[in-house]
């Protein structure tokens, strides 16, 4: 029997995150629509100091403007040698309009000279869900180390320099299936998917 599909808005302008969210929720009863499917609205400034506050704010804005149940991802890379930086500022680490390459270059400069055991790091993702009577969030964490030079060409952002303990390779060397299975985003979406399944 064919089950009906419902829509969920992914409130992000980051096409790489959107691609991964769609891959991870593929096969569920939910169709992931994006901000491109709606008239533009002013995005929240993302100036909170925690991933939770930023993710909740983005999800609330999306739901308020579209009336569609909305998920939002706020994520970042915490490097122990840098006392947890870039963390919540990962997207704009090297400046307001920094590219992924600019951010990775700065990270490699800042961690230059650190020994392997000092290069521990983790990706953290908070995924918020806001809808009628729903306001929840989940966190996913993925541990690894920052290597000295880029390896691999898949993924996005800091993936080429993040060597995953679980995969034994960088996220940029992994297939999208493998990355999504162990990634911070994949982990955070497990709890959210369970709630979505109960709603269908
Ligand atoms: P924000 O959540 O929009 O504030 O941005 C998060 C930033 O963290 C992205 O722009 C990337 O630089 C980085 N990031 C988040 N998730 C990943 C990932 O899965 N791989 C590589 N970089 C990531």
Q: How far apart are the CA of 90 and the centre of ligand 1, in A?
A: 6
* Token pair recorded at residue 58: 């983005």
74 has catalytic annotation:
yes
Tokens read off for 106 = 């700065």
81 lines ligand 1 (CB under 6 A): no
* 1/69 Cα distance (integer angstroms): 25
Nearest to 176 by CA among 26, 10, 6, 13: 26
Q: Is the pLDDT of residue 69 over 50?
A: yes
Between CA 175 and CA 87 the distance in angstroms is: 25
Q: Does residue 140 form part of some domain? A: yes
Cα angle 66-67-73, degrees, rounded to a multiple of 5: 70
Q: Across all residues in the chain, what is the average pLDDT? A: 95
Tokens of 14: 């980051």
Lowest-pLDDT choice from 24-38, 94-108, 133-147: 24-38
CA of 16 to the centre of ligand 1 (A): 9
Give me the mean pLDDT over the 150-164 stretch. 98
Which numbered atom of ligand 1 lies nearest the CA of 155? 20
Asked if residue 88 has pLDDT above 50, the reply is yes
Q: Whole-angstrom Cα distance, residue 16 to residue 14?
A: 5
Q: Is 113 helix (H, G, I), strand (E, B) or coil?
A: coil
Which amino acid residue places its CA nearest to atom 9 of ligand 1? 91
Domain count, the chain: 1
pLDDT at 114: 97
Cβ contact 157:90 at 8 Å: yes
- The predicted-structure confidence for 41-67, as pLDDT tens digits, reads as follows 887 777 788 999 999 999 999 999 999
Task: Decide whether any atom of ligand 1 lies within 6 Å of the 62 Cβ.
Answer: no
Is 81 contained in some domain? Answer: yes
| Ligand 1 mean position, distance from CA 188 (Å) | 14
**Range in 36-40, 75-79, 136-140, 183-187 the model is least confident about:** 36-40
Q: Give the range of the structural domain holding residue 68, as residue numbers without chain letter.
A: 6-199
Q: Is residue 122 situated within a structural domain? A: yes
Instruction: For residues 7-15, give the mean pLDDT.
Output: 95
Q: Which pLDDT does position 1 carry in this prediction? A: 43
pTM: 0.95
Q: Give domain status of residue 188, yes or no.
A: yes
Mean pLDDT on 166-174: 98
- Nearest residue (by CA) to ligand 1, atom 10, is 91
Average pLDDT of the segment spanning 166-177 = 98
Residue 59: inside a domain: yes
181 and 190 Cβ atoms separated by less than 8 Å:
no
**Under 8 Å between Cβ of 147 and 140:** no
Task: Please report, in angstroms and rounded to a whole number, the separation of the first and last CA atoms in the chain.
Answer: 14
Domain CATH for 50 = 3.90.950.10
- pLDDT for the residue numbered 4: 64
Stretch 137-156: mean pLDDT: 98
Instruction: Look at residue 44 in the predicted model and tell me its pLDDT.
Output: 72
How far apart, in whole angstroms, are the C-alpha atoms of residue 93 and residue 90?
5
pLDDT in tens, 109-136: 999 999 999 999 999 999 999 999 999 9
Q: Does ligand 1 lie within 6 Å of residue 98's CB atom?
A: no
How much is the average pLDDT of 156-182? Answer: 98
DSSP notation for 28-96 = SSEEEEEGGGS---PPP----SSHHHHHHHHHHHHHHHH-S-EEEEEEEEEEGGGTT-EETTGGGTT-T
In a domain, 1, yes or no: no
Whether 55 is covered by a domain: the verdict is: yes
Query: Do the bridges between strand 86-87 and strand 30-34 make them parallel or antiparallel, or are there none, so unpaired?
Result: unpaired
Q: What is the pLDDT, as a whole number, of residue 3?
A: 52
């Amino acid at each position: 029997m064919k089950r009906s599909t419902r829509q969920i808005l992914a409130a992000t302008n980051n096409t790489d995150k959107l691609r991964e969210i769609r891959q991870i929720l593929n096969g569920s009863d939910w169709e992931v629509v994006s901000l491109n499917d709606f008239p533009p609205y002013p995005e929240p400034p993302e100036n909170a100091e925690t991933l939770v506050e930023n993710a909740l704010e983005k999800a609330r804005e999306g739901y308020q403007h579209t009336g569609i149940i909305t998920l939002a991802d706020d994520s970042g890379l915490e490097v122990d040698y840098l006392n947890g930086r870039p963390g919540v500022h990962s997207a704009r680490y090297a400046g307001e309009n920094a590219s992924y390459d600019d951010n990775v270059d700065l990270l490699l400069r800042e961690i230059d000279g650190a020994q392997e055991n000092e290069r521990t790091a983790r990706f953290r993702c908070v995924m918020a869900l806001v809808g009628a009577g729903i306001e929840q969030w989940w966190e996913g964490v993925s541990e690894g180390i920052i290597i000295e030079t880029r390896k691999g060409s898949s993924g996005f952002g800091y993936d080429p320099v993040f060597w995953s303990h679980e995969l034994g390779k960088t996220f940029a060397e992994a297939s999208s299936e493998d990355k999504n299975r162990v990634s911070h985003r994949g982990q955070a979406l497990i709890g959210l998917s369970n709630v979505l399944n109960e709603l269908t």
